Structure 1
Amino acid sequence: MNATATTAKTPLSRLALHSTATCSVQASAYGKCILATYTDVTKDVCKDEFVKFAKCLREAMGRKW
């Protein structure tokens, strides 16, 4: 674990850390999907990417719900 990971004490700072470092692949996939479809938004268009990103964040943050 790097120094930033050990100093991320508050929930918000841990979320920021994990969303940019730990879950960067999933965040990037979700962001690319949003970027590709932002002019023609439909319900659940990026649902799969979001579910994967959310799952990664929950696991990284230590929550299993």
Structure 2
Amino acid sequence: MACPPEDCGGVWGYANLLEIINDPSHVEYDERSEWLGRSFEANHFDLEEINEMLAEYLG
């Protein structure tokens, strides 16, 4: 989903994380990529998926 993952350090931590994962030569790239996992896509937004999650959460 296009949202910060939990425990990434808030808005500023997320901005820093995006800089790192968009620069394969960054010294922290491998570590942060592993932490995020393969399924992380910063620009991914699936409205149907979000609506399903909200419906489940809100009952």
Higher relative contact order (CA 8 A, sep 6+): 2
Q: TM-score, normalised by structure 2?
A: 0.30
Q: TM-score, normalised by structure 1?
A: 0.29
| Structure showing the higher helix proportion among its residues | 1
